[in-house]
Structure 1
Amino acid sequence: MFDASMDGSGQKGGGLIRVGTRKSQLARIQTDSVVKMLTQRFPDVHFDIVAMSTTGDKILDTALSKIGEKSLFTKELENALERKEVDLVVHSLKDLPTTLPPGFTIGAVCKREDPHDAVVFHPSNAGNTLKSLPENSVIGTSSLRRAAQLKKIYPQLQFKDIRGNLNTRLKKLDDQNNFNAIILAAAGLHRMGWEERIGQILSPEECLYAVGQGALAVEVRAKDQDLLNMVCALQDPQTVLRCIAERAFMRKLEGGCSVPVAVSTFIKDSQLYLTGAVYSLDGSDCLKETMQSCIVFPNEEVEGPNDDSQHVGITAVGVPHKSLASAECLGTELADLLLSKGAKKILTVARQLNDAR
């Protein structure tokens, strides 16, 4: 149990925990939801939210895939964590690289929101789907992953970069006539209370989603056992196992926002199913496969609070080790399968073409 008389750095602090977050409205809503869950479990602890801007928030005139920085939305927050200016940080898991800086770990992955992508249409196109939009309609997305998949299905549409937080992108859509629709994560729209703006949810058959999309991660210093013991109360085992498989898949492929890598996962009857794919920038080349692995083992022991083993950056206290290892192995093996079929060449060309754009 977390000692409420200690702060996150192990010093006497009257039960004060400082929580780092990005400044955007969505980031604050996500962080507030995590703090609310922690407050319900630890009512004697006071949580102080510290908001800051990250590199990704400041550079708004360049496509994410062109910036080349792996920690666009996390570096400043992790610097504050290292300096002990904050004790834990709340992230969108999809923003976190699959290899974290030394000394950090993801201490909890919260229950996943809808991980799928959503289409938000310009008011003049309300009631449409992507298929029914007029030819040469312009679709806004900053994601190579989304564009690559949708270009193949909808060659009659045009895809154009759009940057900014959710508020900014929706304002660009509504107030200007540059876009007929934009693609956003359904999870963010749900959390902002903007479900009525969702005109279409893209199924995995249309658009596989990003690794970790829809899940929130709580990052802490790896040696802060008190904090690890506290935040593990937020752990959602099924989300953890799905996201470990997804992150292992991307890490083996050496993927990121500069190449189109996509996934879909679900759990049924003790089996974890992972679909993974890589694409060329225009979607014409694609390798896509599905594998499954058992993640429930009878009589398996659960690690105690002192177990600090990490799986693709996640310390999942309270989740059985064999299940975690099986999920990670599934992601690695699926990536190996795609690599054996030529995935490295597709990704190398995609990265080169993206750099040259």
Structure 2
Amino acid sequence: MSEIASLHERQPGRFVIGTRGSPLALAQAHEFAERLAGAHGWAKAELPLDIIRTTGDAIRDRPLSEAGGKGLFTKEIDQAQLLGRVDYAIHSAKDLPTTLPDGLVIAGYLPREDVRDALIARGAAGIADLRQGAIVGSASLRRQAILKRARPDLEIVLLRGNVGSRLEKVAAGTIDATLLALAGLKRLGLADKASGILAIEDCLPAVGQGAIAVVTRSEDPVATEALAPILCRETGIALAAERAFLGELDGSCRTPIAGHATVAGERFHLRGLLLAPDGSAAVEDSISGPVAEAAALGAELGRSLRRRAPAGIYS
């Protein structure tokens, strides 16, 4: 505790940001640093990055669901934060496990980017345009199941790696197509690489897609208070509903789950989808209500879908 306490005596504006080292993770960390520095009039040098390699970054040869799930992208950063090495941890919200380690909390989210998925393919603007038996690469069980549900003829193969390497696989003809989050492409200045943008109605996003989460220590009021000018209320409400929904299902990457919430004034709307891994069965529903009940109603929708899950979804 003495190490953490000493951090609370630091000069105002001096915070260390923990992040993964992928180009997208760095783009997100820089966006956070620029917003925070701009809000307080700090020099960007007062917000240095600590780049931390995670277990998830090292695994490229198998699905993360077989290696432990979402926490593989956060564990080492969590440890650094709990030891006082970093003050803020910046994560893609969809990579966060449903439960964080004791002592850490999601302090909030930056304004959300476009939540839709982008198709990367040669000569195809939509899933229906892909050739018969096309090879599509993806590491996401959600995307795999949605693709199989729409086009059982497609050959789905595992595709890991950063955004650039996935784009290269399509460009080289190793695979015919892949799906990527449009938010990530936009943050990397690569939105023009998308051959088509999939409608939310056809490809419901992952929980948290497009949102950047800011994690702090629960007992670090200095770091937490500094975030107030840059956090997005509407994104926080939407993510409260989505993460509560996910928490009632299976947030460990072993089950294909999609969920997306929107906020309009003091009301929210959440749509959720639970699929069999092979796309052969699915259950889908939505719920709406006051924003004050977003988490409670999100959890209610999750319990409802779990009760109605067709055989084969949970093995």
| More divergent stretch after superposition (24-33 vs 200-209) | 200-209
Q: Distance in 1 between matches of 2:86 and 2:235?
A: 25
Q: Read off the aligned partner of 1:152 and give its amino acid letter.
A: R
1:43 aligns with 2:10: no
SS at match of 2:133: coil
Q: Using a 3 Å threshold, how does the CA distance of structure 1 residues 113 and 347 change in structure 2: closer, same or farther?
A: same
Aligned equivalents of 1:274, 1:21: Cα separation in 2:
29
What TM-score comes out, normalization by structure 2 length?
A: 0.93
SS at match of 1:189: helix
Q: CA RMSD in A?
A: 1.8
Give the aligned partner of residue 338 of structure 1: 305
* Aligned position for 2:77: 77
**Deviation above 4 Å: which 4+ runs of structure 1?**
none
Structure 1's unaligned 5+ residue stretches are 1-5, 296-322, 350-357
For the 8 Å contact 1:88–1:220, the answer to whether it is kept is yes
Tell me which residue corresponds to 1:224. Answer: 220
Contact 1:26 1:191 in 2 (8 A): yes
Q: For residues 116 and 188 of structure 2, what CA distance do their matches in structure 1 show?
A: 16
The one-letter amino acid paired with 1:85 is: R
Residue 202 of structure 2 corresponds to 206
Post-superposition offset of 1:69: 3.6
Taking the aligned partners of 1:129 and 1:254, their CA distance within structure 2 comes to 29
Cα deviation for residue 11 of structure 1 reads 2.2
Q: Distance in 2 between matches of 1:155 and 1:347?
A: 17
Give yes or no for the alignment of 1:243 onto 2:236: no
Quote the residue 1:348 is aligned against: 314
- Counterpart of 1:309 in structure 2 is none
Q: Deviations over 1:300-320 (max 9, x none)?
A: xxxxxxxxxxxxxxxxxxxxx
Question: Residue 207 of structure 1: CA displacement?
Answer: 1.2
Map 1:1-357 to 2 at 5 A: 9-13=7-11, 15-44=13-42, 46-121=46-121, 125-175=122-172, 177-268=173-264, 270-295=266-291, 323=292, 326-342=293-309, 346-349=312-315
Using the alignment, how far apart are the partners of 1:272 and 1:59 within structure 2? 37
CA contact (8 A) 2:145 2:276 kept: yes
Q: Is this contact kept in 1: 2:91–2:214, CA < 8 A?
A: yes
Matches of 1:294 and 1:183, distance apart in 2: 33
Task: Write out per-residue CA displacement over residues 139-162 of structure 1, whole angstroms, 9 at most, x where no aligned residue.
Answer: 111111011112111122211110
1:228-261 per-position Cα deviation (integer Å, ceiling 9, x unaligned):
1111322111111111100000101133311101
Show CA shifts across 1:57-94 (max 9, x none): 11111122221244111111111101111111111111
Q: TM-score, normalised by structure 1?
A: 0.83
Q: CA deviation at 1:127?
A: 4.7
**Whole-angstrom CA distance in 2 between matches of 1:35 and 1:96:** 20
218 and 8 in structure 1: CA distance in 2 versus 1, 3 angstrom threshold: farther
Question: Do the aligned partners of residues 8 and 16 (structure 1) sit closer, same or farther apart at CA in structure 2, a change above 3 Å counting?
Answer: farther
1:253-306 deviation digits (Å, cap 9, x = unpaired): 1333111011122223532111111110111111101110122xxxxxxxxxxx
CA gap 1:51/1:289 in 2 versus in 1, 3 angstroms:
same
Which range moves more in the overlay, 32-41 or 265-274?
Answer: 265-274
CA contact (8 A) 1:109 1:217 kept: yes
* Secondary structure in 1 matching 2:139: coil
- C-alpha contact (below 8 Å) 1:17/1:48 kept by paired residues: yes
1:254–1:128 CA distance, 2 compared to 1 (3 A): closer
Question: Could you tell me whether the CA contact under 8 Å between 2:137 and 2:158 is conserved in 1?
Answer: yes
The residue identity in structure 1 corresponding to 2:314 is T
Letter in 1 for 2:67: I
Distance 2:118 2:281 in 1: 24
Question: How many residue pairs get matched?
Answer: 310
Unaligned runs of 5+ in 2: none
Measured after TM superposition, the shift of residue 336 of structure 1 is 1.8
State the distance in 2 between where 1:342 and 1:174 align: 38
Q: Is the 8 A contact 1:139 1:181 kept in 2?
A: yes
Aligned equivalents of 1:53, 1:259: Cα separation in 2: 26
Q: Which amino acid aligns with 1:21?
A: T
Residues 237, 263 of structure 2: 8 Å contact kept: no
Distance in 2 between residues matched to 1:329 and 1:195, nearest whole Å? 35
